Amino acid sequence: MRISILTIFPDFVRVVKEYGVVSQAVENGILEIEIFNLRDFAKDKHKTVDDYPYGGGPGMVMKPAPFFEFFKFYNETYGKPYVVLTSPQGDVLNNSIARELASKDHLLIICGRYEGIDERVMKFVDREISIGDYVLTGGELPAMVIVDVVSRFVPGVVDEESVKNDSFYNDLLDHPHYTRPRVIEDMRVPEVLISGNHEEVELWRRKESLKKTMLKRPDLFMKHQFDEIDKRALLSLFRELMADAK
Ligand code: 4GX
């Protein structure tokens, strides 16, 4: 998969491809991440990318011309990508949107700055994405978030099993994790995890997931489609509760 980012701060965005599993995927050729400086496509001698808003008011607006120059170059060189604009007006990012974006072979993310972009640039945009209901100083961090979350759904970037186990994969929060040592400052690893009984471990993990989701995210719990393991886990949880109440 190829992901391109168009920004006025290329050095800020660069680090997203230099760490962790994303950088490994780039090295292995599973992912190609390319960063373009919008300023390189400004034709005037001061390389201007912003201007005053028609109609007045505070702040600046990103000029359309550099975008038109960019898309002329880009579409001729690589063909038409799926274009995402980071903006507070977009659909709020979640795993299901990320999975959808990961299915494109070619994604281009435009990082908005200032008050926004000249509306005429919207003709190039397929989808507006927001990373949450708060106002940032620019679309660079959202672009990096999108690269990160989308990468995890590109086959081969992370271990498939680990994607399945993550929070939200099946609408439930993740279970607790433990590693060595068995005891630290009198706090023990739950016995069942050391038992070697995979079925029991699976049931315990599901119970913990269900418990955590019920308490912290009842909205997710209500939407959850219960499978056989869920039912067994809930039954066992309920029995434990009833036993404790006696
Ligand atoms: N999730 N911002 C973008 C400028 C802007 C405004 C309108 C396009 C249209 C944000 C967010 C976010 C602030 C980035 C405004 N660009 N982006 N910027 N939350 O708050 O994505």
**pLDDT at residue 22 in the model:** 97
Q: Which of 81, 64, 70, 87 is nearest to 141 (CA)?
A: 87
Res. 167: pLDDT tops 90: no
* Ligand 1 within 6 A of CB of 132: yes
CATH code, residues 2-161 = 3.40.1280.10
The domain locations on the chain are: 2-161, 183-245
- Decide if pLDDT at 1 tops 90: yes
Name the phi and psi angles at 160, rounded to 5.
-55, -40
Place of tokens 């700055």: 113
Same fold, 2-161 and 183-245: no
Q: Ligand 1 centre from 125 Cα, in Å? A: 14
CA-to-CA distance for 123 and 50, rounded, in angstroms?
19
Statement: residue 170 has pLDDT above 80: no
Question: Which pLDDT score, from 0 to 100, does residue 149 have?
Answer: 97
Superfamily of domain 183-245: tRNA(m1g37)methyltransferase, domain 2 (1.10.1270.20)
pLDDT at 135: 97
The tens digit of pLDDT for each residue in 43-100 reads 999 999 999 999 999 999 999 999 999 999 999 999 999 999 999 999 999 999 999 9
* Helix, strand, coil % over all residues of the chain, rounded to 5: 45, 20, 35
Our mutation pick for probing the ligand 1 site, out of 9, 86, 129, counting the most ligand atoms within 8 A of Cβ, is 86
| 93 touches ligand 1 (CB under 6 Å) | no
